Amino acid sequence: MPVDTKLSASHLNFCYKRDGKTTQVLSDVNLIVGEGEFLCIVGPSGCGKSTLLSTFAGFLSPNSGEVRIDGGVVSGPDPRRILVFQEPGVFPWLTVEGNIEFGLFRKPRAERQRRIAHYIELVGLKGFEKAYPAELSGGMKQRLEVARALAVNPDILLLDEPFGALDSITRLTMRRELLRIWREERNTVIFVTHDIDEAVQLADRVAVMSGRPTNIQQTFLIDIEHPRDISAPRYLELRNAILEELGIAHYV
Amino acid sequence: MNSFAKTRKWEEVLWPVLASALFLTLWHYSVAWTATKVFPSPLAVEKGLAELARKGLLWAYIGDSLRRVALGFGAAAVLGIPIGLTLGWYPAVNQVVNPVLEMLRPISPIAWIPVAILMFGVGDVTPVFLIFLAAFFPIVVACVSGVSSVPSIFRRAGRNFGLTAPQLLARVVFPASLPSIIVGLRLALGIAWMVVVAAEMVAVDSGLGYLVIDARNSGKRYDLVVAGMLTIGIIGLALDLCFRRLRNLESVRWGFRDDS
């Protein structure tokens, strides 16, 4: 099935300079993400997954190479692609409504109201419109952050280990919620995780990154229909293939 | 917070009242037993206060002192908050200005009295200026530290949603540093109230500071001196309590969760 290219990264190189020492993080990263695709990026901890996502979002500019979205070169942050972090970046001084409304300041009032209502409903925060983040659980805060991001109707949602700080039960629920939301909204999702199971459960395609300096080592097409049976042979096969690609043994 | 350590409503009133009563009792008997002729008893102070109130001086002096604090503190807040936010926002500017600020900051406003009188003469402007100086630096420092401790994740989110620099300052940086700013304002107000008393002792002929020094100079009325001191203390407490209530505003409460 041919899909339009939403994002393409070509020959990305990125180095950090600290105390006069240069550390290469990204080394010739090449990646193409299709319109409406759900791509997971996995890789060893500290390899540069977050750095890669930051270059996609426009917060970091690569030393060489370029990121193009819809053909245009990314040169800075833009509300058309919203980055969601692991630690909730919801604003503690605003209510749930206020947070969702945050990015909608250029929209007319009626449209703002409509979107607030829609996304509160979508992420299951109905009844908490006037609550402050301090009154919400970790999972609710993360859902609020996703709602705030979706409310501006971004083409691309960049998620940096969004469920990393949640407990394992909440994490499972959040995955299901995210898939449901993604099916309704059909944004392109790029999801960074260190959890291989999470990647295989969610993604259309999984990109495996190497250790630092990192590049895309291999991509795996996850050809299983949703809802996915996590004990199906194909699931285990793909999961093991990714583990193998990462060089991690099957046994603890 | 430990819910077991939470005091009940009536306890919050009872203990301070008991402590004050104990203090007054101790004071009373200390004066009675030592048979001092100089230091007044609480009853004498109470009579002194009543006398001041009867003459209409008490409220007039309180009004004058409060007015000077309001003007000086208000000016310090109006100037200090934007300056502090700007310095916090542009670390490069802060690096340039910081040495000057840090040098001026430890100079007690009292030390400025001669210069202030030279510049503004005897009158209301001098104490207002001194209060301004006293309140300005803590406010600026609180704003700078407030801004620089705004988590980068909030700034990034703001930029991601397409905010321009002024919008980012108004909608992210300011609300995120508001709890620190309130702490700074509260500190500044406490200092301002101390300074007004000192300033009124030299530069003007009204206000609570003037009351204290005047009662001593004209007739050694120590009952009035202590009456003035007590009034200063009570108003200082009242100002602080008002300010503490600000922390309960919904939009800043998140910043004060861990203290009592």
- The 10s digit of each residue's pLDDT in A197-244 is 999 999 999 999 988 888 888 899 988 888 888 888 898 888 888 888
- Report how many Cβ contacts below 8 Å link chain A to chain B: 55
User: What is the percent of chain A with per-residue pLDDT over 90, rounded to a whole number?
Assistant: 40
Q: What was the pLDDT predicted at B75?
A: 96
Q: Which residues of A touch B151 (CB under 8 A)?
A: 89
* Residue A230 is assigned to a structural domain of this protein: yes
> With an 8 Å Cβ cutoff, are A133 and B254 in contact?
yes
Pick the CATH number of B40-256 from 1.10.3720.10, 3.30.300.160, 3.30.590.10, 2.60.120.620: 1.10.3720.10
Q: What is the dihedral of CA B85, B91, B95, B98, to 10 degrees?
A: 20
Q: Give the residue from A106, A130, A153 where a domain finishes.
A: A153
Question: Which residues, 6 or more positions from A158, have their beta carbon under 8 angstroms from its beta carbon?
Answer: A53, A56, A57, A81, A82, A83, A84, A190, A192
Q: Which CATH number characterizes residue A160's domain?
A: 3.40.50.300
* Residue A162 is assigned to a structural domain of this protein: yes
Taking the C-alpha atoms of residue B129 and residue B122, their distance in angstroms, rounded to an integer, is 12
Are residues A115 and A197 both part of a single domain?
A: no
* Residue A98 is assigned to a structural domain of this protein: yes
Which parts of chain B register pLDDT below 50? 1-2, 259-260
The reply to whether A85 touches chain B by the CB within 8 Å rule is yes
Q: What is the dihedral of CA A33, A36, A37, A41, to 10 degrees?
A: 70
Average model confidence (pLDDT) for chain A? 88
Place of tokens 């583990």: A243
* Residue A252 is assigned to a structural domain of this protein: no
Are residues A40 and A117 both part of a single domain?
A: no
Q: What was the pLDDT predicted at A170?
A: 80
The alpha carbon of residue B198 is apart from the nearest alpha carbon of chain A, in Å, by: 39
Are residues A25 and A42 both part of a single domain?
A: yes
Residue B163: its H or E element: none
The total number of structural domains in chain A stands at 2
Taking the C-alpha atoms of residue B67 and residue B128, their distance in angstroms, rounded to an integer, is 9
The reply to whether A132 touches chain B by the CB within 8 Å rule is yes
Question: Which residues, 6 or more positions from A7, have their beta carbon under 8 angstroms from its beta carbon?
Answer: A31, A32, A33, A56, A67, A68, A69, A156, A188, A190
Place of tokens 């995780």: A193
Task: Determine the residue of chain A that is closest to B158 in CA distance.
Answer: A103
Are residues A64 and A160 both part of a single domain?
A: yes
* Residue A161 is assigned to a structural domain of this protein: yes
Q: What was the pLDDT predicted at A131?
A: 92
Question: Which residues, 6 or more positions from A84, have their beta carbon under 8 angstroms from its beta carbon?
Answer: A145, A146, A149, A157, A158, A159, A160, A162
ipTM of the complex: 0.85
Residue A245 — very low, low, confident or very high, per pLDDT cuts 50/70/90? confident
Task: Determine the residue of chain B that is closest to A133 in CA distance.
Answer: B254
Are residues A159 and A224 both part of a single domain?
A: yes
- Indicate the domain borders of chain B: 40-256
Edge-first strand listing for the sheet containing A21-34: A21-34, A5-18, A64-69, A72-73
Higher-pLDDT residue of A100, A138? A100
> With an 8 Å Cβ cutoff, are B176 and A93 in contact?
yes
> With an 8 Å Cβ cutoff, are A92 and B255 in contact?
yes
- Domain residues for the domain of A148 are 92-153
Q: What was the pLDDT predicted at A13?
A: 92
* pLDDT tens, residue by residue, B1-22: 445 556 677 887 888 899 999 9
* pLDDT tens, residue by residue, A158-173: 999 888 878 888 888 8
The reply to whether A197 touches chain B by the CB within 8 Å rule is no
Place of tokens 């009133």: B13
The alpha carbon of residue B185 is apart from the nearest alpha carbon of chain A, in Å, by: 19
Contact A99, A133 (CB under 8 A): yes
Are residues A184 and A119 both part of a single domain?
A: no
Q: Give the residue from A153, A168, A199 where a domain finishes.
A: A153
User: Which contacts (CB < 8 Å, 24+ apart) does range A120-124 have?
Assistant: A120/A96, A120/A147, A122/A147, A122/A150, A122/A181, A122/A184, A123/A147, A123/A177, A123/A181, A124/A177
Are residues A158 and A239 both part of a single domain?
A: yes
Residue A68 — very low, low, confident or very high, per pLDDT cuts 50/70/90? very high
φ and ψ at residue A62, rounded to 5 degrees: -65, 155
Q: What is the mean pLDDT of residues A5-15?
A: 90
> With an 8 Å Cβ cutoff, are A87 and B172 in contact?
no
Taking the C-alpha atoms of residue A199 and residue A242, their distance in angstroms, rounded to an integer, is 10
Are residues A134 and A145 both part of a single domain?
A: yes
3-state class (DSSP) for residue B81? helix
Contact B189, B135 (CB under 8 A): yes
| Local structure of residue B245 (DSSP, 8 states) | H
The reply to whether A131 touches chain B by the CB within 8 Å rule is no
* Residue A191 is assigned to a structural domain of this protein: yes
For the stretch B129-151, what's the b/e string if a residue is b when 16 or more beta carbons lie within 10 angstroms of its beta carbon?
bbbbbbbbbbbbbbbbbbbeebe
**CB interface of B with A, residues 148-177, below 8 Å:** 151, 153-154, 156-157, 159-162, 167, 171-172, 175-176
Q: Give the residue from A114, A133, A153 where a domain finishes.
A: A153
* Residue A195 is assigned to a structural domain of this protein: yes
Question: Which residues, 6 or more positions from B156, have their beta carbon under 8 angstroms from its beta carbon?
Answer: A59, A77, A83, A85, A89
Distances (CA, A) of A37 to A55, A168, A242, B208: 19, 25, 19, 73
Q: Which residues of A touch B162 (CB under 8 A)?
A: 77-79, 103, 106
3-state class (DSSP) for residue B117? helix
From the list B41, B70, B17, B69, the residue with the least C-alpha distance to B230 is B41
Query: Regarding beta strands A216-221 and A205-209, do their DSSP bridges make them parallel or antiparallel, or are they unpaired?
Result: antiparallel
> With an 8 Å Cβ cutoff, are A78 and B162 in contact?
yes
Are residues A67 and A98 both part of a single domain?
A: no
A83, A91, A107: best to mutate for the B interface, most B CBs within 10 A = A91
| Local structure of residue B253 (DSSP, 8 states) | G
Q: What was the pLDDT predicted at A1?
A: 47
Q: Is the pLDDT of residue A55 over 90?
A: yes
Question: Which residues, 6 or more positions from B141, have their beta carbon under 8 angstroms from its beta carbon?
Answer: B84, B101, B105, B184
